[in-house]
Amino acid sequence: MKLLLDTHILLWAAGQPERLSQSARNLLTSRENSLIFSAASIWEIVIKLGLGRKDFKVDPYRLRKELVAHGYAELPVTAEHALRVGSLPPLHKDPFDRILLAQARSEGLVLLTTDSAVAQYGDSVVVV
């Protein structure tokens, strides 16, 4: 399975794995799964770090470098992804979660998240 990690799962996998549920750890460590991070997550981290959010205290340059070094694939944000956001019903307002969902749907990926509000979108989402 190709898993697109939402930003919190990405941060926890990289620096606080104890915060991950057992089901998340199982999915992340299974050799059958490909792990993918979005440029949108790095963008979110940069923005929230600049705003002083305590839960986003990470060096985004180092994070990206380490993710790539550990075999995570990077997914850029394309115009197609941005356009796909427009077809999503307004069930969730967070623009970063919405672009991640649009990317997952566009690319045939499963979005791995802890946000139950994102789960309202049904397919393409696994809440852990």
- 75: helix, strand or coil: strand
Using the predicted structure, report yes or no on whether residue 55 has a pLDDT greater than 90.
no
Percent residues over pLDDT 70 in the chain: 100
Say if CB 97 and CB 62 are below 8 A apart: no
| pTM of the shown model | 0.94
Q: What is the mean pLDDT of the chain?
A: 95
Q: What is the pLDDT of residues 65-118, one digit of tens each?
A: 999 999 999 999 999 999 999 999 989 889 999 999 999 999 999 999 999 999
Say if CB 107 and CB 75 are below 8 A apart: yes
Distance CA 111, CA 105 (A): 9
Say if CB 6 and CB 112 are below 8 A apart: yes
What is the pLDDT, as a whole number, of residue 29? 96
Q: How many CB atoms lie within 10 A of CB 44?
A: 25
Tokens of residue 90, six digits: 């307004």
